[in-house]
Structure 1
Amino acid sequence: MTCPSAPTGITFFLSFPEDRRRPISVAASLFDHLIGPALRLLDPETAHGVTLKALGMGLGPRAEAPEDPILAIRLWGRDFANPLGLSAGFDKDAAVMAPMLRLGLGFVEVGSITPRPQPGNPKPRIFRLPEDGAVINRLGFNNGGLAQAQARLTAFREHQAAGGLPSGNRGLVGINLGKNKETEDAAADYEKGAAALGPLADYLVVNVSSPNTPGLRALQGRAELEALLGRVMDALPAPAPPLLLKIAPDLTEEDKQDIAAVCLAQGVSGIIATNTTIQRPASLKAAARDEAGGLSGRPLFAPSTAVLADLYRLTEGRLPLIGVGGITSGADAYRKIRAGASLVQLYTALIYRGPALVWRIKRELAGLLREDGFETLAAAVGADHRYGG
């Protein structure tokens, strides 16, 4: 399961003509007063299913305002119109990439995708913690498998090539790879995913950090990680897409040092920090706080940002990092960027705050960059390590 991976549905909208100076404001009002409360009356997994169907039918918002140029950044030879992305876990089966990009995101990440379809863990397996702005999930890589995802991604790329996305939005899509629960040779599953989906990816992610697949996090050990990444890199197609590693927040100092060293030595293109946590902060108030699974959302912000900062320091800023976990505002995104993130992702906050959050984060982030005198987003990456936080 990926982080923050808690498919509870972000919203169910209609599209309306919008004032271009106030993107998706009507949809935001509908979410705040009608749709969001209605969705939260449903169990989380049903709400997520309704959301995916609605988006697939075209009942989604479209951000019409032009992108602020200060938010643009170039990584791995790709131009991101803004650094804000959707984390893996929402669109597990690569079904609603275009609708989510039309929301104004700079990129989306699909998956986790395993070679064979699998149902995941028994239900119920998703739990809202509204008092904490959080979610716990124990989904277990439920997805339709490699063949289905490959067909959908191929169709998406064809649609994209035909001009089926908003002007200026190239449709950057990362693909998150997982392993089937029963597979003993984990690397073989990642090799299959890399070979089949690599040609369709703007970047690939090796996810070894979900707490919901037995034994998966053990692959973050130094020897195991070296062997795994070596095999996956050998399986990449030519030309090879960037290969990223997604890590857990629940790591020792030695773990982080080993991960940084292995990624630099193996030529990994970047690190995603972090997946969900198995820790349960004492501050949690919701009744579901003791459910098993990975915790995402606001309580994850501080620990995930600390891991991000450690990885930036340990890699000496040589690897692009994607910051994930607990982002609810432009200020949160900015803190991740100053800690070392070149890109950021969100998911859980969309459940509670709706689609207008994307516009608000971008607007607030652009303002904070200018307030601190940065002319580009890239100039702010890792600023806390140079100037202090």
Structure 2
Amino acid sequence: MYSLIRPLLFRLDAEQAHNLTLQALHKAQRYKLMPTAPAISLPTRLMGLNLPNPLGLAAGLDKNGECIDALFALGFGFIEIGTVTPKPQEGNPKPRLFRLPEHQAIINRMGFNNHGIDAMIRNIENSRRQGILGINIGKNATTPIENAADDYLICLEKAYAYADYITVNISSPNTQNLRSLQGGDELSALLEALKNKQSHLRAQHGKYVPLAVKIAPDLDEAQIADIAHVVQQVEMDALIATNTTIDKSSLGKHPLSSEAGGLSGMPVREASNRVLQSLSAELHGKIPLIGVGGILQGADAVRKIELGADAVQVYSGLIYRGPDLIGECLRHLQAHKV
């Protein structure tokens, strides 16, 4: 069905099509019109959590947790909602989302547009939440970078009771100076503060909610080694590799190549895989890895597992392939005997 709908969606502005798709998913779930999910069971242990399969939805599609039940119904082993911030914010000026079909790519400079953590929690409370739910947290654009930890701690505290795991997003290129938090001292200070808060919340709620951190693909080998050292030192529960890239050289002279924002889809695949492979070599299996970036077909998901990922996530590939990508990835992972 998606092959019939896609040409219509691609005639619309990209953000308008995104919002329309979310509305359609919500209504399809409400009226029991969702497609049948792939009947493939691949039990996976990740961060101490039991997943029905290792294929997840990356953050960004459902920023406010408005379509949780519909997204689970598609067959994902886990979904990640957000990025969410303490206070609602509009994000960057429009237009801010662009499709590049020739490259099976997307450029976005959304800027963490969301309704705020309190609105997300209300949406979670109104869902059945039948699966492993991750919440991706960030900082408000108006919060100075030196106070970024305050925003992450607010989100961590509010999200803790509702999440199965929480991801710390420090790698979006669309919030000023955010990626500076990936540096050694800054990263260590932020993650230590979050791990200390996690310990208090564990005692308060009587449950342990794992913490993952999502990093960029635009890192050199020394930076990757530093990150691997810090996450082991502070005992993070997982690393997600990677977010979007700011390197648009692969687009050549495409009319949109000069647009600001993060590039995702096929062009980020090799950079994302390079970071994933390097992290795997640095960590020696001590911290779980989630591979994301450039999964457009089942073989791409398998490749990330081969490079050291314990699980994978998709997003941009869904825009170009639709729900068929989910079944294809699961079949390839099953054949690979994940």
Give the TM-score band, short-chain normalised. over 0.9
5 Å-filtered alignment, 1:150-161, equals: 150-156=121-127, 159-160=128-129
Contact 2:243 2:292 in 1 (8 A): yes
- 1:285: Cα distance to partner? 6.0
Structure 1 position 195 matched with structure 2 position 157: yes
Amino acid at match of 1:66: A
Distance 1:56 1:358 in 2: 18
The residue number in structure 2 matching 1:263 is: 231
Give, as a single letter, the amino acid of the residue that structure 2 aligns with 1:198: Y
Tell me which residue corresponds to 1:111.
Answer: 82
Please give the residue correspondences for 1:26-175 in structure 2 after superposition, counting only pairs within 5 Å: 30-32=1-3, 34-58=4-28, 61-68=34-41, 71-156=42-127, 159-160=128-129, 170-175=130-135
CA contact under 8 A between 2:111 and 2:174: conserved in structure 1? yes
Q: Take 1:187 and 1:137, find their aligned partners in 2: how far apart are those partners?
A: 25
Task: Assess if the C-alpha contact under 8 Å between 1:114 and 1:143 holds in 2.
Answer: yes
Whole-angstrom CA distance in 2 between matches of 1:111 and 1:247: 15
The one of 190, 194, 216 equivalent to 1:232 is 194
Secondary structure of the corresponding residue to residue 25 of structure 2: helix
CA contact (8 A) 2:47 2:238 kept: no
Letter matched to residue 232 of structure 1 = L
Cα deviation for residue 83 of structure 1 reads 0.9
In structure 1, how many angstroms separate the alpha carbons of the residues matched to 2:323 and 2:252? 25
Q: Give the deviation of 1:283 after TM superposition.
A: 4.8
**Hey, what's the Cα distance between the residues in 2 that align with 1:140 and 1:218?**
16
Contact conserved, 2:58 with 2:313, CA < 8 A, in 1?
Answer: yes
What number of residue pairs does the alignment pair up? 327
Superposition pairs for residues 305-344 of structure 1, below 5 Å? 305-344=273-312
- 1:385 equivalent in structure 2: none
Which residue type is aligned with residue 291 of structure 1? E
Question: Structure 1 length as normaliser, TM-score?
Answer: 0.82
Determine what percentage of the aligned residue pairs are the same residue.
Answer: 46
Q: Over residues 286-313 of structure 1, what are the superposed CA-to-partner deviations in whole Å (9 max), with x where a residue is unaligned?
A: 4212211000000111110110010111
Amino acid at match of 1:326: G
* Distance in 2 of aligned mates of 1:146 and 1:222: 28
Unaligned runs of 5+ in 2: none
2:180 is the alignment partner of 1:218: yes
Q: Gaps spanning 5+ residues in structure 1: where?
A: 1-29, 161-169, 378-389
TM-score (structure 2 length as normaliser): 0.94
Equivalents in 1 of 2:94, 2:242: separation in Å? 25
Q: Is the 8 A contact 2:250 2:267 kept in 1?
A: no
CA separation in 1, counterparts of 2:250 and 2:271?
Answer: 14
The residue correspondences of 1:288-367 to structure 2 (distance < 5 A) are 288-367=256-335
How far the C-alpha of 1:233 sits from its partner, in A, is 1.6
Query: Which structure carries more relative contact order (alpha carbon 8 Å, separation 6+)?
Result: 1
Cα distance in structure 1, aligned partners of 2:86 and 2:37: 37
What is the Cα deviation at residue 67 of structure 1?
A: 2.0
Report the CA distance between 1:62 and its aligned residue: 3.2
Deviation of 1:155 (Å): 2.6
